Amino acid sequence: MSLLIKNGFVYDPLNGVEGEEMDIAVKDGRIVEKINERKAKIIDASGMVVMPGGVDIHTHIAGSEVNAGRLLRPEDHFIDVEAKTKTTRSGVGHSIPSTFTTGYRYTRMGYTMICNPSMPPLEARHTHEELDDTPIVDKATFPLLGDWWFVLEYLQKEQIEECAAHVAWMMRATKGYAIKIVNPGGVEAWGFGRNVRDLDDPVPNFGVTPREIVRGLCKVNKLLNLPHTIHLHTNRLGQPGNYLTTLETMKCVEDLAEGESPVIHITHCQFSAFKGDDWSTLRSGAEEIAKYVNGHSHVTLDMGQVVFTDTTTMTADGPWQFTLYELSGNKWINHDVETETGGGIVPFRYRRKSYVHATMWSIALELALLIKDPWKIYLTTDHPNGGPFTSYPRIISWLVSTRVRERILKTINKNARKRSLLPSIDREYTLSEIAIITRAGQARALGLQNKGHLGVGADADIAIYDINPREIDLSREYRKVRRAFEKTAYTIKGGKIVAKDGAIVEAIRGRTFWVDAGSSAVIDEESYRRASLDLKKRFRDYWTVEIENYYIPESYLHAPVRISLTKEG
Partner 1 sequence: MIKPRRSFKAPVYADCLSPDSFAGRSLKEIVKLEVWEGNRRRTLEELFDIQGEPEDSAEKITLQISGDLRKVRMIGANMTGGKIIIKGDVGMHLGEKMEGGEIIVDGNADSWAGCMMTGGRIEVKGSAGDYLGAPYRGSRNGMNGGAIIVHGDVGNEAGCFMRGGVIKVYGNAKDFVGIHMTGGEILIKGDCQNRPGADMLDGKIVIYGHVSSILPTFTIEDIRKSVKVDGEKINGPFYRFSGDLANKGQGRLYVSKERNPHLRFYEKYL
Which residue in 373, 313, 384 sits closest to 343, CA to CA?
313
Contact flag: residue 553 with partner 1 (CB under 8 A)? no
Choice between 2 and 330, CB closer to partner 1: 330
Residue 93 interacting with partner 1 (CB under 8 A):
no
Smallest distance from partner 1 to CB 82, Å: 16
Say whether residue 78 binds partner 1 (CB under 8 A).
yes
Q: Which region, judged by CB under 8 A, interacts with partner 1, from 73-81, 221-229, 235-243, 296-304?
A: 73-81
Q: How many residues of this chain bind partner 1 (CB under 8 A)?
A: 7
Q: Does 86 bind partner 1 (CB under 8 A)?
A: no
Using rule CB under 8 A, residue 74 touches partner 1: yes
Tell me the CB-side half-sphere exposure of residue 58, using CA atoms within 13 A. 35
Spatial distance between the Cα atoms of 559 and 497, rounded to a whole number of angstroms: 19
Query: Quick one: 225 or 330, whose CB is closer to partner 1?
Result: 330
Cβ(374)–Cβ(441) below 8 Å: yes
Q: Does 65 bind partner 1 (CB under 8 A)?
A: no
Q: Taking the complex as a whole, how short is the minimal distance between the CB of residue 347 and partner 1, in angstroms?
A: 9
Residue among 78 and 542 whose Cβ is closer to partner 1: 78
> By CB under 8 A, which span of 71-79, 177-185, 316-324, 445-453 interacts with partner 1?
71-79
In this structure, are residues 313 and 357 in contact, taking their beta carbons and an 8 Å threshold? Answer: no
Residue 73 or 298: the one with the smaller Cβ distance to partner 1 is 73
Minimum distance from residue 271 beta carbon to partner 1 (Å): 25
Q: Which residues, including other chains, have CB under 8 Å from residue 413's CB and lie 6 or more apart? A: 352, 353, 354, 355, 357, 358, 359
Where on the phi/psi map is residue 279: left (φ > 0), alpha (ψ -120 to 50), or beta? alpha
x/- mask, partner 1, residues 307-346, rule CB under 8 A, reads -----------------------x----------------
Q: Does 84 bind partner 1 (CB under 8 A)?
A: no
Region 211-270 residues binding partner 1, contact defined as CB under 8 A? none
Q: Are 442 and 55 in contact (CB under 8 A)?
A: yes
Nearer to partner 1, 349 or 352 (CB): 349
**Residue number with CB closer to partner 1 (75 or 373):** 75
In whole angstroms, how close is the CB of 324 to partner 1 at the nearest point?
Answer: 16
- Does residue 72 belong to the site contacting partner 1 (CB under 8 A)? yes
End-to-end alpha-carbon separation of the chain, Å?
32
Residues 10-49 that bind partner 1 (CB under 8 A): none
27 — phi, psi (to 5°)? -145, 135
C-beta of residue 454 within 8 angstroms of C-beta of residue 9 = no
Which of the stretches 68-76, 156-164, 193-201, 446-454 binds partner 1 when contact is defined by CB under 8 A? 68-76
What is the dihedral angle through the alpha carbons of 381, 384, 389, 391, rounded to the nearest 10 degrees? -70
Binding of partner 1 by 73 (CB under 8 A): yes
DSSP per residue, 266-332: E-SGGGG-EESSSGGG-EE-HHHHHHHHHH-SSEEEE-----SSEEEEEES-HHHHHHHHHHH----
* Residue 256: DSSP 8-state: G
C-beta of 79 vs 456, nearer to partner 1 = 79
DSSP string covering 345-392: EEEEE--TT-HHHHHHHHHHHHHHHH-S-GGGEE---TBTTSS-GGGH
Q: Considering the complex, state which of residue 89 and residue 500 has its C-beta at the smaller distance from partner 1.
A: 89
Per-residue CA distances from 410 to 178, 287, 352, 413, 429 (Å): 41, 22, 10, 8, 21
Min dist CB 65 to partner 1, Å, is 17
Nearer to partner 1, 291 or 331 (CB): 331
Shortest gap between Cβ of 72 and partner 1 (angstroms)? 7
Picking from 517, 368, 478, 379, the residue whose alpha carbon sits closest to that of residue 435 is: 379
Q: Which stretch binds partner 1 (CB under 8 A): 37-45, 69-77, 259-267, 480-488?
A: 69-77
504 binds partner 1 (CB under 8 A): no
The stretch among 70-78, 269-277, 456-464, 557-565 that binds partner 1 (CB under 8 A) is 70-78
Asked if 76 touches partner 1 (CB under 8 A), the answer is yes
Shortest spacing between CB 368 and partner 1, in angstroms: 33
Q: How far is the CB of 328 from partner 1 (least distance, A)?
A: 11
Query: Residue 73 CB, nearest distance to partner 1 (Å)?
Result: 6
Site for partner 1 in 394-453 (CB under 8 A): none
**3 state SS of 437:** helix
**Helices 160-174 & 210-224 angle (0-180, nearest 10):** 70
Minimum gap (Å) between residue 352 Cβ and partner 1? 18
In the complex, the smallest distance separating the C-beta of residue 96 from partner 1, rounded to whole angstroms, is: 12
Residues pairing with 341 in the sheet: 337
Amino acid at 461: D
DSSP-assigned letters across all residues of 178-199: S-EEESTTHHHHHTTT----ST
> Least Å distance between CB 67 and partner 1?
15
Q: Residue 432 is inside which H or E element, if any?
A: helix 431-435
Smallest separation, CB 105 to partner 1 (Å): 22
* Region of 66-74, 115-123, 288-296, 480-488 interacting with partner 1 (CB under 8 A): 66-74
In order, the DSSP letters of 38-97 are TTSEEEE-TTSEEEEPEEES-B--SSHHHHHHHHH-HHHHHT-EE---SSS--EE-SSS-
Choose, by CB under 8 A, the member of 28, 75, 158, 501 that binds partner 1. 75
Question: At its nearest, how many Å lie between partner 1 and the CB of residue 325?
Answer: 13
Q: Which residues bind partner 1 (CB under 8 A)?
A: 72-76, 78, 330
